Amino acid sequence: MARLRDPIRGCPWDLEQTFATIAPYTLEEAYEVVDAIDRNDLPGLCEELGDLLLQVVFHARMAEEQGAFDLEHVARGIVAKLIRRHPHVFGGESASGAGEAAIGPSEVARRWDEIKQAERALHAAASESAPSLLDGLSIRLPALQRAARLQSRAARIGFDWPHIHAVLDKVEEERAELLAALAAGDAAAAREELSDLMFVVTHLARFLDADPETLLRGACGKFERRFRFMESAAGPAGLAALELEAQEALWQQAKRAGL
CATH number of 141-210: 1.10.287.1080
**Ramachandran sector of residue 13 (left: φ over 0; alpha: ψ -120 to 50; beta: rest):** alpha
- The CATH label, of 3.40.50.720, 1.10.287.1080, 1.10.3720.10, 1.20.58.110, for the domain at 1-85 is 1.10.287.1080
Q: What is the pLDDT of residue 98?
A: 45
pLDDT of 15-59, one tens digit each? 999 999 999 899 999 999 999 998 999 999 999 999 999 999 999
Query: pTM of the prediction?
Result: 0.66
Residues of the chain where predicted confidence (pLDDT) is lower than 50: 93-99
Q: What sign for the dihedral angle of Cα 211, 20, 123, 119?
A: positive
Domain spans in the chain, listed from the N-terminal domain onward: 1-85, 141-210, 213-256
Other beta carbons within 10 angstroms of residue 212's beta carbon come to 22
Residue 97: predicted pLDDT: 43
User: Is residue 19 within 8 Å of 62, Cβ to Cβ?
Assistant: yes
Contact 48, 33 (CB under 8 A): yes
The answer to whether 52 touches 68, Cβ cutoff 8 Å, is no
